[in-house]
Copies of this chain bind each other. A is one copy, B any other.
Amino acid sequence: MSQTLTLDTLLAAARKASRALAGADRDAGLRAMAAGLERDAERVLAANAEDVRAARAGGMPAPQLDRLTLAPERLRAIAAACEEVAALPDPLGRVQGGWTLAAGPRVTRVTVPFGVIAMVYESRPNVTVDAAALALKAGSAAVLRGSASALRSNRALVASLRRSLAEAGLPHDAVQLVDSPDRELVTELLRANGKVDLVIPRGGAGLIRHVVANATVPVIETGVGNCHVYVDAGADPETARRIVLNAKVQRPGVCNAAETLLVHEAEAPSLLPRLAAELRAAGVELRGCERTRALVPEALPATESDWETEFLDLVLAVRVVPSLDAALEHIDRYGTRHSEAIVTRSLHSAERFRREVDAAAVFVNASTRFNDGFEFGFGAEIGISTQKLHARGPMGLEALVTYKYVVDGSGEVRA
């Protein structure tokens, strides 16, 4: 059997299963998934240990190894997340609006499932369960393609999820694993128009670029965040200090962490030396423009590529700018439209920043780290969209459903 045929079969089964979901007790399925993960913990952890062993032998770097590793408490947290998703309100069947046409028929716009949602992601096996749970809650089948390095873990997880679904009386084909390291299958998946309604990539910049460049099915682009904090003239130095440290240091490996600090020249001499000392004490390597280095001699010289880079690490590029305009220009040129913050006391600067910065979330006197589905109160997050189509910023369940128009008439026709 050719690979295409295999994928076609898998997608047809996913489509069929998705049909049965809208009317099924999806929350019971989610609770069964949670219980099943506890029941199957030993099997899952053993499979994961094999993945970790192979990855370590293959020389996988430590941060990736950490992301790949499932400990018992991590698995419990993953199961608990399924319970939390079960407890969220149903995103389906919500009437978003309605009106009566001039000709008579009544229109209702109501939320409905996408149908089949594909996720393409990297080594974290928790994404396997998160994505399946959120898709199920949203009434869609999940087609999952993780990395080859996590294949044994994902097999064990998906086997557990499917068994739980079946036991709860739901179609187990609502969760499908593309169970092959063959990269051609990803390309097939990304081009399965009519069979896949939506694909969401989650992972590094390379993965996301690959998906965006190759998909012909609708995509929600997530993730890459080259985020800035701009400290305006007259800003409160303590607020600036707190926000810059939080945005850079609290969790540097995530997309809503700050990568570049822009400081108005009026504040740079008083702010930068002290703030640099604190950042360095927190382990942050600084890469500064010439004016920064005149104030902070220990900073390395920043190159053009430093302004462009999402370090995802304890590295911060620092630039002194002559004006708010220069800051806005810098953000426009190098930013990835993800999360951008200003620290200011000026109403005028705040308003210009809010209005002129083109980003999913614009922060005035608050940390970029708040750009997150849980912080936003969505109770779940499938990723942070950096595109403008459909969903922007943190995506909760609302981003995982679509709508249809229901038109009820009494025999009306168009004149």
Residues on A facing B (Cβ under 8 Å): 19, 22-23, 99, 101-105, 107, 112, 114-115, 193, 197-198, 212-213, 215-216, 218-221, 236, 238-239, 242-243, 245-247, 250, 343, 350, 354-356, 358-367, 369-372, 375-377, 387-390, 392-393, 402-414
Residues on the B chain within 8 Å of A371, using CB: 405, 407
How distant is A92 from chain B, measured CB to nearest CB, in Å?
Answer: 11
Task: Say yes or no: A405 contacts B361, CB within 8 Å.
Answer: yes
A153 to B147, CA, bound (A): 52
Task: Say yes or no: B367 contacts A242, CB within 8 Å.
Answer: no
List the 8 shortest-distance A-B pairs measured between CB atoms, nearest first.
A366-B409, A246-B413, A388-B402, A390-B390, A218-B389, A369-B414, A239-B411, A361-B405
Contact of A365 among B99, B242, B350, B410 (CB under 8 A): B410
A250 to B415, CA, bound (A): 8
A403 to B361, CA, bound (A): 9
Task: Say yes or no: B354 contacts A413, CB within 8 Å.
Answer: no
Residues on the B chain within 8 Å of A387, using CB: 197, 218
Task: Say yes or no: B404 contacts A360, CB within 8 Å.
Answer: yes
Task: Say yes or no: B408 contacts A377, CB within 8 Å.
Answer: no
A22 to B403, CA, bound (A): 29
Task: Say yes or no: B361 contacts A242, CB within 8 Å.
Answer: no
Contact of A413 among B362, B369, B414 (CB under 8 A): B369
Residues on the B chain within 8 Å of A408, using CB: 350, 364-366
How distant is A99 from chain B, measured CB to nearest CB, in Å?
Answer: 7
Residues on the B chain within 8 Å of A388, using CB: 114-115, 197-198, 218, 402
Residues on the B chain within 8 Å of A216, using CB: 212-213, 215
A363-B402 CB under 8 A given contacts A213-B216, A388-B218: no
How many protomers of this protein does the assembly include?
2
A392-B404 CB under 8 A given contacts A355-B22, A375-B103: yes
For A22, A101, A247, A371, the residue with the greatest tally of chain B CB atoms inside 10 Å of its CB is: A101
A246 to B387, CA, bound (A): 40
A214 to B222, CA, bound (A): 20
A112 to B362, CA, bound (A): 12
A377 to B402, CA, bound (A): 21
Task: Say yes or no: B404 contacts A361, CB within 8 Å.
Answer: yes
Task: Say yes or no: B404 contacts A362, CB within 8 Å.
Answer: yes
Contact of A364 among B350, B354, B355, B407 (CB under 8 A): B407
Residues on the B chain within 8 Å of A198, using CB: 388-389
Task: Say yes or no: A366 contacts B105, CB within 8 Å.
Answer: yes
Task: Say yes or no: B366 contacts A407, CB within 8 Å.
Answer: yes
Task: Say yes or no: B376 contacts A101, CB within 8 Å.
Answer: yes
Return 22 A-B CB contacts under 8 Å, by A number.
A197-B389, A198-B389, A212-B216, A220-B389, A239-B411, A242-B411, A243-B413, A247-B413, A354-B406, A358-B404, A361-B407, A363-B409, A365-B409, A366-B407, A366-B412, A369-B414, A370-B412, A371-B407, A376-B405, A388-B402, A389-B389, A393-B405
A22 to B414, CA, bound (A): 37
Residues on the B chain within 8 Å of A361, using CB: 404-407
Residues on the B chain within 8 Å of A402, using CB: 388-389, 392
A197 to B390, CA, bound (A): 12
Task: Say yes or no: A411 contacts B115, CB within 8 Å.
Answer: no
A88 to B238, CA, bound (A): 46
- Nearest-neighbor residue (CB-CB) of A411 within chain B: B239
Contact of A370 among B103, B218, B365 (CB under 8 A): B103
Residues on the B chain within 8 Å of A362, using CB: 404-407
A296 to B359, CA, bound (A): 61
- Nearest-neighbor residue (CB-CB) of A412 within chain B: B366
A242 to B212, CA, bound (A): 46
A361 to B361, CA, bound (A): 33
A361 to B105, CA, bound (A): 12
